[in-house]
Structure 1
């Protein structure tokens, strides 16, 4: 009789050419919707069957470690530091997926008592049976075990939840609902956990308060690792703020973006003004900055979700620091201190240093931070004595900010809809090069576009106090300068001229 591993290997060997042929022939392209759905269902069932055997095997590997010395464990003999690493290497899955496999294995494992050799029941026997019948996979087991482990409702309560949740996974529950997916099982298990927790909500809140925290690691390669646990309401508030900034309008088209063409035979002069015959624009875009159809051409936002949320976090910190409502530090508002050699800043080379960060940062960081803040020039003598101390006030006051916000409306980069209150004010002509802190030299720009202005291909200039944008070649191959102010009165004037 063939061993189980040989049988599985034979099944895999039979499946591989079927898959290869389907891809080579592009067989599913001509399939109907029902056939495509049937393939997804059948493949999912096969995955769950394979996962069941993998989880059981991992459970036995884990259980045998209880009965042998450390040097004799399979993990040690294969050069792995943990069971999760062994799963990663054996299956080539991610660290997170391997951890889920181990969690599922321990939830349905029937361990053996060391003293008597008796096989003990699994912590979640009903879910184990559902796994054996390919009715649930690793995700479902993890959803249930993660919510119910550690509940104070006693073994009987957990087993009752296990039975009901397994029935839900099979689609045989009392409510007659179809088989539950992993997310449904997680939601149901969390309700069970609240019901079984006899301590009530207050002790849960106390535990959450005790475990809350946020820690920062050591800066490496310009990045500081962050770890911790957020209270549910704090995470929800941050998510709401992410949603307010990362609205769907921020996501650009999947293509390289629109290309400007003369739609009506007119044209645009060198300054991007209207031609005699009509506007030079795609999809109703007006080069004067007003879009009557609500369509603004823009580049695709290629940032990942995690990168966008990082930028939202950076924006929140900047807004909070500028609000003037935070407690003082050393008698002054909490200020980010960046130091750089004057000659390095002037020549855009070398590195800068941020107070509290051991690793030097690129010179561009100092330029970005200094653009929106004040600069204190400290000149040190050869032996370190302070010989000169001067401060350049380069922060736009609140009256200037209100005026610029009225003119620009928000981030001036086309396609970006970050509101004015979330934006920084950028000196179009850098203060270090003589640019004044004046409304004719300041524009609203969000943290992300401000931080990437030197490398993104966007250029900004002021013409008679009006901000103009020249985008990258893929946004506008003809590289025209276009006014981008969003002032409501100016939009009204444009519509009046058109009508």
Structure 2
């Protein structure tokens, strides 16, 4: 007896043989033949997705009818259906989540009283999925728009009929998943133009923050819908970091960093960052300040602490990679060094079999007393033109700890998040002379390349002014 899995396996074997001959043959095909093959492969993919969604829908229905211990996901050692789909199909976590969303939209549950098969939430889109007209992306595009909406059942079924017809190409040509999403949003607006909830309640229901996975460009996408008061608070905090001081009396004391005029007017310091880049760096400052405040809830028995893993040899030589928690993609050794400069370093020695043989924490973190003293001396980020206050700054080892630099007030200076991470590449240089920080700027800022004693502390500036008079 041939099972469903056997039939699909046989179909997969046939497709594998076809693909083996097609992939190389496409190079010599004309454009029309290549596009036809692309369209046909798309249909095969949509049909395969229909089987994946249908199987997941069956698991959803079965898991809802039994206790947690007897669920399919539990018996196969998975936390939820998304993890089960991910393991079985080897797709990404995001795609697995889309499969779960689609499965809930097309599943047909059984009425407990009569045993009657109840229709799916989107019955016509279900038919379009089975026919290979609407794939996973198209079904999710429609289901996600109406998920949690206040559209009644009658209106939802009317929209389902029209959207499935569009997916089948009955009105005009076939539409993409993005076009289906746009059409679904039009239907949702038409069926609920004013909304039956107050605006505040709807916003509260739709609020959210999503942190994605790192992409090929090395960036992690973040998507958010913030409540107005949360957005306003974030805006104020960001502006407190990125906005220049434009009001109030100038700080007393002499100016120790006179800018040099080149082709344009005098400027304190050129900042080539775009506005979005400045807001990103400001958010990093705020997150670090919040984590260091001690006011956040404990995580794993300790304050939320960023842990970067790196081999000791790699950190010393600057060659190799480092690892962030929960991220399979590595980061550079330079990034690990920047984190280590303002954090603790714990040396964990592993034996040949991987057993931990010793743990030792290197004393490289400035104490609270040292930080207060450095704050009194520096008064904020030392880079001229930077107005980040001292409580949001990090302490930078002028001479790197890995190269013998001591954790001493004569070797630590205040730098903001951005300038700490660009101190080796931004053209600014810092050195300590008799325990006093001196800064030398890039050539566009000071053509004479002089070392200048620098401070942002009003108290230190007043004292220096008194000594000079």
The answer (yes or no) to whether the contact 1:65–1:73 under 8 Å persists in 2 is no
Q: Deviations over 1:413-455 (max 9, x none)?
A: 0111111111111111111122121111111110011111121
1:321 aligns with 291
The answer (yes or no) to whether the contact 1:374–1:395 under 8 Å persists in 2 is yes
Q: Say which SS state the counterpart of residue 305 (structure 2) adopts.
A: coil
2:238 aligns with 242
User: 2:424 aligned with 1:454, yes or no?
Assistant: yes
Q: How large is the Cα RMSD of the aligned pairs?
A: 3.4
Q: Say which SS state the counterpart of residue 332 (structure 1) adopts.
A: coil
| Matching residue within 272, 297, 301 for 1:302 | 272
| Matching residue within 198, 202, 206 for 2:201 | 206
Once residues 450 and 170 of structure 2 are traced to their aligned partners in structure 1, the CA distance between those partners, rounded to angstroms, is: 71
2:220 aligns with 224
Compute the displacement of 1:73 (Å).
5.5
Do the aligned partners of residues 372 and 71 (structure 1) sit closer, same or farther apart at CA in structure 2, a change above 3 Å counting? same
Once residues 497 and 290 of structure 1 are traced to their aligned partners in structure 2, the CA distance between those partners, rounded to angstroms, is: 19
Q: Say which SS state the counterpart of residue 169 (structure 2) adopts.
A: helix
2:193 aligns with 150
TM-score by length of 2: 0.57
The answer (yes or no) to whether the contact 1:212–1:230 under 8 Å persists in 2 is yes
| Matching residue within 398, 407, 430 for 2:368 | 398
Do the aligned partners of residues 486 and 207 (structure 1) sit closer, same or farther apart at CA in structure 2, a change above 3 Å counting? same
The answer (yes or no) to whether the contact 1:249–1:415 under 8 Å persists in 2 is no
Q: How does 1:326-475 map to 2 (within 5 A)?
A: 326-475=296-445
Do the aligned partners of residues 342 and 438 (structure 1) sit closer, same or farther apart at CA in structure 2, a change above 3 Å counting? same
1:282 aligns with none
Once residues 242 and 313 of structure 2 are traced to their aligned partners in structure 1, the CA distance between those partners, rounded to angstroms, is: 38
The answer (yes or no) to whether the contact 2:381–2:456 under 8 Å persists in 1 is no
The answer (yes or no) to whether the contact 2:285–2:417 under 8 Å persists in 1 is yes
Q: Deviations over 1:329-371 (max 9, x none)?
A: 2222211110111111111121100112121011111111111
2:25 aligns with none
Q: Deviations over 1:43-90 (max 9, x none)?
A: xxxxxxxxxxxxxxxxxxxxx9998774365564xx8654599xxxxx
Do the aligned partners of residues 359 and 213 (structure 1) sit closer, same or farther apart at CA in structure 2, a change above 3 Å counting? same
5+ long unaligned stretches in structure 2: 1-161, 247-252, 260-264
Once residues 67 and 377 of structure 1 are traced to their aligned partners in structure 2, the CA distance between those partners, rounded to angstroms, is: 63
Q: Say which SS state the counterpart of residue 248 (structure 1) adopts.
A: coil
Q: Say which SS state the counterpart of residue 412 (structure 1) adopts.
A: coil
Once residues 391 and 463 of structure 1 are traced to their aligned partners in structure 2, the CA distance between those partners, rounded to angstroms, is: 30
Once residues 288 and 494 of structure 1 are traced to their aligned partners in structure 2, the CA distance between those partners, rounded to angstroms, is: 10
Compute the displacement of 1:494 (Å).
3.9
Compute the displacement of 1:372 (Å).
0.7
Do the aligned partners of residues 408 and 247 (structure 1) sit closer, same or farther apart at CA in structure 2, a change above 3 Å counting? same
Do the aligned partners of residues 469 and 297 (structure 1) sit closer, same or farther apart at CA in structure 2, a change above 3 Å counting? farther
Q: Say which SS state the counterpart of residue 313 (structure 2) adopts.
A: helix
Q: Say which SS state the counterpart of residue 71 (structure 1) adopts.
A: coil
5+ long unaligned stretches in structure 1: 1-63, 86-98, 108-122, 124-144, 153-196, 251-284
Compute the displacement of 1:492 (Å).
2.1
Once residues 465 and 216 of structure 1 are traced to their aligned partners in structure 2, the CA distance between those partners, rounded to angstroms, is: 43
The answer (yes or no) to whether the contact 1:290–1:491 under 8 Å persists in 2 is no
Once residues 319 and 425 of structure 1 are traced to their aligned partners in structure 2, the CA distance between those partners, rounded to angstroms, is: 13
